[in-house]
Amino acid sequence: MTLGTLVEALALGLLEGLTEFIPVSSTAHLLLAAHFIGFESTGKAFEVLIQLGAVLAILVVYFQRFLRVALQLPTNPGARRFVLGIVLAFLPAAVLGVLLHGFIKSVLFESPVTICAALIFGGVVLIVLDRIAFKPRYNNAMGFPLKTAFGIGVFQCLALIPGMSRSGSTIVGGLVLGADKRSAAEFSFFLALPTMLGAFVYDFWKNRSALSLDDGLLIAVGFVAAFCAALLVIRWLLDFVSRHGYAVFGWWRIAVGLAGLAGVMLGY
């Protein structure tokens, strides 16, 4: 392992933290960036495991709210409904992710063309939806009905395709099912906790015998960088989407997808 490899891991970690919670697909950005700079990770574990660093930033930002929910669980039906809603939203992608893990990692993760196509398609969807005058029925991410939470979880299954974006899929699901722009993004934050923790544990277990100390150091560098960058994004994103919506992210996705396809066609 060289200093250059450590710098690449740091840069990829920052990229992960900056893109995890905006609907542009952090996985697509990581895989495309790694592809074009020639960064190789064992079993693509780096790209999955450092995502937990970004997700843990949610615990810092929302610590008091989560603590309040935990303390109220025995007595407050609303707190219990929120936790059950997160569990129901987590299950669809968790089950499909386990069943399709091999195909996703060995086929979809290795296809820059598929990733770029998913980026472009998701970008078009965001732009179209941002122009629709939805009439939101819900503005509290911790008070969604259970059927709405489960429906958002079904949408999250789209994110098993690299490039579709976990946050993008869940935000679109929230908007379609009646959430306003801010609460859709916030529920996506909350759902990221069990989803990415599950992905971390499962992927680590699957790659445990192949990972070396060098791999561990690279993952640690990327993990910390992702955590720090995500703290900034979480605090900024909710106010931004409340004022400006999601179209800008759609255009960004399309630009990155087209640039990626051009790079692939040119043989990079």
Question: What are the residue ranges spanned by the domains of the chain?
Answer: 3-265
Q: How many CA atoms lie within 13 A of 71 on its CB side?
A: 6
- Residue 179: beta bridge partners? 138
Residue 1: predicted pLDDT = 66
Q: What average pLDDT does range 107-123 have in this prediction?
A: 88
CA 115-14-241 angle, 5° bins? 75
DSSP state of 246: S
Q: What is the pTM of this model?
A: 0.85
Q: What average pLDDT does range 31-45 have in this prediction?
A: 82
Is residue 107 scored above 80 in pLDDT?
no
| Residue whose pair of structure tokens reads 């150091």 in the numeric block | 217
Torsional class of 195: left (φ above 0), alpha (ψ -120 to 50), beta (otherwise): alpha
What's the gap between Cα 208 and its chain centre? Answer: 23
Cα(180)–Cα(257) distance, integer angstroms:
27
Confidence of residue 138 (pLDDT cuts 50, 70, 90): very high
Tell which wins on pLDDT, 267 or 65: 65
Residue 158: predicted pLDDT = 93
On whether the CB atoms of residues 176 and 132 are closer than 8 A, the answer is no
Residue 153: predicted pLDDT = 96
Taking only the tens place, the pLDDT of each residue in 197-223 is 888 888 888 877 878 888 889 999 999
Residue 203: predicted pLDDT = 81
Cα(139)–Cα(180) distance, integer angstroms:
6
Tell which wins on pLDDT, 244 or 186: 186
Q: What average pLDDT does range 244-266 have in this prediction?
A: 91
Cα(130)–Cα(133) distance, integer angstroms:
8
